[in-house]
Structure 1
Amino acid sequence: MAPRAGQPGFQGLLIVAAALSQPAAPCPFQCYCFGGPKVLLRCASGAELRQPPQDVPPDARNLTIVGANLTVLRAAAFAGGDADGDGDQAGGVRLPLLNALRLTHNHIEVVEDGAFDGLPSLTALDLSHNPLRALGGGAFRGLRALRSLQLNYALVRGGPALLAVLDVALAPLAELRLLGLAGNALSRLPPAALRLARLEQLDVRFNALAGLGPDELRGLERDGGLSGPRLLLADNPLRCGCAARPLLAWLHNATERVPDARRLRCSAPRALLDRPLLDLDGARLRCADSGADARGEEAEAAGPELEASYVFFGLVLALIGLIFLMVLYLNRRGIQRWMRNLREACRDQMEGYHYRYEQDADPRRAPAPAAPAGSRATSPGSGL
């Protein structure tokens, strides 16, 4: 059983992890630094360093090389072997007490089989920020005590072939507790990492994981009721749909196993872009069509999105109404003047109609009736 919090082994692991997580500021760029019981810290220039330095004392406990041009780590590179591997001390033990080895930003492209042979006490190894393109299947074969391995931003250039070899290289690390694989464009979790019985933390942030399949989720669980490793999963392009249901259900049951679970956000489909994964309802996730499982094209039920559209439309209408009322208020004087002018015009028109009506109703102004046809007009002087 892996040691848990409060036990000496776990505390020692935390100390080693904290030491490796600190920046390389104590060791200047293009230098190598080492420390031990007698010498707390000693730095030397490593600008032209093309192989591990040979002047590190045998009692050194930690060694940091930053900004060198090592390019290739050959077999037994830290055990005294020369560049061709045929030195007098090749394969020997030159640094028997070395616990921590940091080799960041050293342009390392190839790590051959047995590159770390001769380091029996090594518990922490950091190869981050190196453009690895080839890794020997037996590169870590001599590191039986290794508990922390950092390969962050180191496997991008190697492609699928390097990831396949990584499974083989991790197999002998039975005591490994911490594994850092951040920033390596991984599309799946390395199966060998899930088989490490004592692994306590797996860092796969900033990769290309669209989700975790049922096999990977089963690999994160342990037999016998033991909890599996903690998983750092943030900053991956997760697809939130029917394929995300197993992962969502697993997160709800093991949220404490994923410290950054609240930072997990959807990158697809577009309707769920940047939505927190834990805020989704697994029962409402559905595939966009029957072929979505094969293509990874998923979507959530349209109900909540439609409701949001109605709310947005209502807000737009309210805004338009508010603007209209504001325009009316700002032009109230002009509107009052216009209404007054309109009323005066209507009154003048009505007075004109009333005057003509009165003229037409006066009997004195009525026209004389016409004489009947055939009658003869007589004058006043006529005797008739």
Structure 2
Amino acid sequence: MAPRLGRSELRGPPLLPGLLLVAAALSRPAAACPFQCYCFGSPQLLLRCAPGAELRQPPRDVPPDARNLTIVGANLTVLRAAAFAGGDADGEEAAARVRLPLLTALRLTHNNIEVVEDGAFDGLPSLTALDLSHNPLRALGGGAFRGLLALRSLQLTRALARGGPALLATLDDALERLDELRFLGLADNALSRLPPAALSRPHLEQLDARLNALAGLSPDELRALERDGGRPAPRLLLADNPLRCGCAARPLRAWLRNATERVPDARLLRCAAPRALLDRPFLDADEAPLRCDDGPGRGEDVDLAGPELEASYVFFGLVLALIGLIFLMVLYLNRRGIQRWMRNLREACRDQMEGYHYRYEQDADPRRAPAPAAPAGSRATSPGSGL
């Protein structure tokens, strides 16, 4: 089973006419074909699979009327010029050779492809869909796609992360030739910016930029996404990018609010920085915890709940610890006086309690009780009277 992409399900492009046969052909090999294989379909033979574990170059037994070709799990490593049109020939002969004139869909996933030379896909005039996903590309020729004048879908998911800035520069050159491109998949490639050539494709309908390292979109990128002449603007997928919210994100947030339908996953976008807005919805992030600098460094923000406030908490804690330490030292140095004071207090309490106990005993003696008073109106008689 092919590996899945981490947090998000990376869906492919909308179904194009040239991809319908690919979907039908690839629905069967899951049970009948091993992971390492190559498959092709044609009108006469709907589907045929063969082992491809030891395959180091594109197979030569694909019939000329094949409409789709899938190679998975091979070790192609380098796609040389005219690799699918007899790449062992040299110069213009190889470029002009057409072995697969009807091939419309080519899938080359998980083949350990590291280098794609100029003209690697020469001789495939009908190709409309190309998938190079899950290959550790390190080098891509600026003319790698020069013969694909009809290409409408290009999938590069998890294929560019190892190439660095040099690979992105040549990717720009390679995309410049794809005027008919409708879908471009750049998901999970650690991109910190979008390729300018991708944004300028005249017929682009969808750009998948999920699971990258985009902190936001620059004003130039936002302007490039706007189309002149009434042409529809492309849809953009941005989920699972570490977007920086706050003051610097004002242009992107305003653009998203005015073009929600062009970013279908806009409600899934979350803030990754600054700390005060971490994991909040991007469209609803409040800038109240920040101090926006609209001066020379316009768009910069300072996280008031970030390092500065954290440092103040640390300083306050140190002051409290110092005060507590001084208090303990005072107690220790005056321990004898405190003991004497406690002893005197205990003796005073004991004397007080003894006084209360003495008065209680005196009050409880019946001999010391006062005589009862005589009733009112009675005469007092002496002991010696005869009455």
Same fold (TM over 0.5): yes
Q: Which residue of structure 2 aligns with residue 71 of structure 1?
A: 77
Q: 1:56 aligns with which of 58, 62, 65?
A: 62
Which amino acid in the other structure matches residue 34 of structure 1?
F
Q: Which residue of structure 2 aligns with residue 278 of structure 1?
A: 283
The CA distance in 1 between the partners of 2:21 and 2:240, in whole Å, is: 22
Q: Deviations over 1:213-246 (max 9, x none)?
A: 1111111110134331100100101111111111
Q: Deviations over 1:103-134 (max 9, x none)?
A: 00000000000000000000000000000000
The CA distance in 2 between the partners of 1:59 and 1:87, in whole Å, is: 23
Decide whether aligned partners of structure 1 residues 226 and 129 sit closer, same or farther in structure 2, where only a CA change above 3 A counts. Answer: same
Q: Is the 8 A contact 2:22 2:68 kept in 1?
A: no
The CA distance in 2 between the partners of 1:298 and 1:231, in whole Å, is: 29
The CA distance in 1 between the partners of 2:70 and 2:120, in whole Å, is: 16
Q: Which residue of structure 2 aligns with residue 136 of structure 1?
A: 141
Q: Which residue of structure 2 aligns with residue 45 of structure 1?
A: 51
Number of aligned residues:
307
Secondary structure of 1:267's partner?
Answer: strand
Q: Deviations over 1:247-279 (max 9, x none)?
A: 111111111111111111011111211111122
Which amino acid in the other structure matches residue 245 of structure 1?
R
The CA distance in 2 between the partners of 1:160 and 1:101, in whole Å, is: 27
Q: Which range moves more in the overlay, 122-131 or 223-232?
A: 223-232
Q: Is the 8 A contact 1:245 1:285 kept in 2?
A: no
Q: Deviations over 1:66-125 (max 9, x none)?
A: 00010000000101122x747975630110000000000000000000000000000000
CA RMSD of aligned residues (A): 3.4
The CA distance in 2 between the partners of 1:18 and 1:280, in whole Å, is: 43
Q: Which residue of structure 2 aligns with residue 313 of structure 1?
A: none
Decide whether aligned partners of structure 1 residues 293 and 300 sit closer, same or farther in structure 2, where only a CA change above 3 A counts. Answer: farther
The CA distance in 1 between the partners of 2:105 and 2:193, in whole Å, is: 29
Question: Does 2:161 correspond to 1:156?
Answer: yes
Unaligned runs of 5+ in 2: 1-13, 307-356, 373-387
Decide whether aligned partners of structure 1 residues 278 and 253 sit closer, same or farther in structure 2, where only a CA change above 3 A counts. Answer: same
Q: Is the 8 A contact 2:182 2:206 kept in 1?
A: yes
The CA distance in 2 between the partners of 1:252 and 1:56, in whole Å, is: 50
Q: Is the 8 A contact 1:74 1:85 kept in 2?
A: no
Which amino acid in the other structure matches residue 263 of structure 1?
L
Q: 2:370 aligns with which of 353, 357, 362?
A: 362
Indicate the percent of aligned positions where both proteins have the same amino acid. 71
Secondary structure of 1:168's partner?
Answer: helix
- Deviation, structure 1 residue 58: 0.3
- Deviation, structure 1 residue 25: 3.0
Question: Does 2:180 correspond to 1:172?
Answer: no
Q: Which residue of structure 2 aligns with residue 382 of structure 1?
A: none
Q: Is the 8 A contact 2:186 2:207 kept in 1?
A: yes
Normalising by structure 1, we get a TM-score of 0.72
Q: Which residue of structure 2 aligns with residue 235 of structure 1?
A: 240
Q: 2:207 aligns with which of 202, 214, 218?
A: 202
The CA distance in 2 between the partners of 1:264 and 1:66, in whole Å, is: 33
The CA distance in 2 between the partners of 1:131 and 1:273, in whole Å, is: 32
How does 1:160-309 map onto structure 2 within 5 Å? 160-281=165-286, 284=288, 286-287=290-291, 298-299=302-303
The CA distance in 1 between the partners of 2:256 and 2:293, in whole Å, is: 26
Decide whether aligned partners of structure 1 residues 241 and 54 sit closer, same or farther in structure 2, where only a CA change above 3 A counts. Answer: same
Unaligned runs of 5+ in 1: 1-9, 303-348, 365-384
